[in-house]
Chains A and B, each alone.
Chain A
């Protein structure tokens, strides 16, 4: 990738939008456009073809799912643009809706922007083809109680690995996170898949979808 990542930003809260924009600039991104609603965002995106779009899910006029709808349109028009959808609260339905559209996507709690380093890292991962699901949602899914819970068969470390898989991390990323080698992670992953009787996915993006679906349906 050459030069700065070019980012379009949409949020109806001007103060917050400016805050995020200055954060991005400070970290070497080029903010190519700022919008207060979805239709303006689409205009900017069509004109600028940015590398990344960061969009608030709730925007005028109805303050419901405008951001997600805009993301869907952008995905269909320009599949190579990375999509980062921010939401005041995380819901499984929205996550699978976004992630299900393809890789290069992240579904995040809005407050994640305050963990600046993690947030910036996530943006780069999305731009590089990664997928990311907010840990709060993954945690909710993993910790949901079941009468006969197949996750009971997992060791605590395996549960951690499973959660990181659901967040969209690669084996290398998980190893980095847990301070273990990628080989160790691979061993854990194989053990988890065997215990849960799940077929190994072909890539990290499909792995996220499969794990999310498994966690919800178990």
Chain B
């Protein structure tokens, strides 16, 4: 076949068609196939291919026509006498005449009798990405290299675009993942949920389904898994695994810095963590330290199974470990706050109980005895001292009144009835003494944990006081329901609404009480629509508010 630019018209229209596909952003595989076809058509040959290079060699990613021996995905031949091999080694376009055996031909070359082949490099952002190669049964035109270069340039542009688009997409995905985790943290979700969420997001972004969050045990020679992505078979939250410096998690505890390990065969590692990684067929692992308020707490690990994790993985993982650190710090300060609240509430309850007891068993008894002494004195007064007798009688009556008042006061300080008869009886007594009608429904006769009874009692008491004093309600419904693992107290009135916990009412103390027990408090008080207060008290083991 004679050379020359006689094909220029065909080439231009072929390039235009490829350019259109590039502009449309068709998937890479389709583009590679189209380029191979067009190149083949321009040279009147069906042996044309797009090849991608990597450290290990070349892979065919586009082919003008499939053959039995050669298809997309077949390794490219980079032998000495191949044009593609020359491109791979030199980075420049190459031509081989006289008995070329070039990919995609390889085994095919002999059968179809190739005499000439040309290959042109695809250079993306200054790096050798791959090559377009065409082989001829006849000798290829003299300027075949230049013609091919037009296609590789176009392809390089398209690949650069696609790569930056991929990078952008990856960045967007990563940002979205970070945002989702940050939302959990900001919302104050339990640290455990944050660990799980991070594991799953990291697995999705870097780790081919493999990622975990681990906490260093006290002696740091082992870690406990606290978050695990779905696909990490054989491991579960709570699993302890011994670690050494040979794996990234172990390196982190020595250096306090991110660590990575790329290793084709992890079975050579002797530590338990190494064996687990080996079983999971890990080839690459990156661990990023979780540092909570200056102390090394644990690691976030991403694991790669088929290929090394991207070089920027440590830097990108760091953002996730920072979020985890924040969640842990939040949860620690929340726990400390709850414990301190609990101590305060318990202390004040104890004080109230003590005062009530002192009033009843001490002061009130004293008054009654005093009254009795005066009555005795009164009885001893000789009949002729009638006015003294009536004076003593008045004093005795006054003392009795004082005792009655004291009884009212002590009842307000702490309801002895609550400890003796339980929350149902105490709520009914509260209801009887309320100046507005109160309907009480209690679903259980079973005694609840004392802190729950006390908190529910004061919550109801405060709400009833508010309903009577401020809400101008004509009725209140109080209900206490024991559900599976919590107790729900609700107090609804038909008053004017508009109650605001922020305005310094007793509602604030009430919220403290409920949250000190790990419970949830809610108040709905739209002006004109009554007030609805609900408090949920967890009954799970450990919710029992013990002073620590």
Contact = CB atoms under 8 A, between A and B. Distances in A.
Interface string B488-500: 0000000000000
B368 A110 contact: yes
B369 interface: yes
A111 B371 contact: yes
Contacts of A147: 437, 439, 474-475
A121 interface: no
B322 to A, nearest CB: 54
Interface in A1-60: 13, 15-16, 19-20, 22-23, 26, 58
B407 A88 contact: yes
A213 interface: no
Contacts of A94: 420-421
A16 to B, nearest CB: 4
Given A23-B375, A91-B421, A111-B403, A141 B432 contact: yes
A58 B360 contact: yes
Interface in A107-152: 109-111, 113-116, 140-141, 143-147, 149
Interface centre among B372, B373, B429 (most CB of A within 10 A): B372
B420 A65 contact: yes
Contacts of B404: 109, 111
Given A16-B369, A64-B419, A145-B434, A92 B425 contact: yes
Contacts of A64: 419-420
A89 interface: yes
A65 B416 CA distance: 11
Interface in B389-421: 396-397, 399-400, 403-404, 407, 410-411, 416-417, 419-421
A111 B416 contact: no
B433 interface: yes
Nearest to B417: A91
**Most chain B beta carbons < 10 A, residue from A23, A91, A143:** A91
A93 interface: yes
B94 to A, nearest CB: 98
A20 to B, nearest CB: 7
Interface centre among A19, A63, A88 (most CB of B within 10 A): A88
A147 B366 CA distance: 41
Contacts of A19: 368-369, 372-373, 376
Given A16-B365, A110-B364, A111-B407, A140 B376 contact: no
B438 interface: yes
B439 A140 contact: no
A114 B416 CA distance: 23
A155 to B, nearest CB: 21
Contacts of A93: 417, 420-421, 425
Contacts of B156: none
B33 interface: no
Contacts of A92: 425, 428-429
Given A19-B376, A91-B425, A140 B433 contact: yes
Nearest to A93: B421
Interface in B415-474: 416-417, 419-421, 425, 428-429, 431-439, 474
Given A111-B403, A114-B400, A140-B433, A91 B376 contact: no
B417 A15 contact: no
A145 to B, nearest CB: 4
Given A58-B360, A63-B357, A147-B475, A91 B429 contact: yes
B399 A114 contact: yes
Given A93-B425, A111-B400, A144-B431, A22 B376 contact: yes
A157 B369 CA distance: 35
A65 B379 CA distance: 33
Contacts of B361: 13, 58, 63, 88
A89 B375 contact: no
Interface string B319-333: 000000000000000
**In this complex, which of A19, A91, A111, A115 has the most chain B Cβ atoms within 10 angstroms of its Cβ?**
A111
Contacts of B416: 88-89
Given A89-B407, A91-B429, A145-B438, A116 B417 contact: no
Contacts of A23: 372, 375-376
A65 B396 CA distance: 28
Given A89-B411, A93-B417, A15 B369 contact: yes
Contact of A13 (B369, B379, B419, B434): B369
Nearest to B401: A111
6 contacts: A91-B421, A109-B404, A114-B371, A114-B400, A145-B437, A147-B475
Interface of A: 13, 15-16, 19-20, 22-23, 26, 58, 63-65, 88-89, 91-94, 109-111, 113-116, 140-141, 143-147, 149, 216
The 4 closest A-B pairs by CB, nearest first: A19-B372, A144-B432, A114-B371, A88-B360
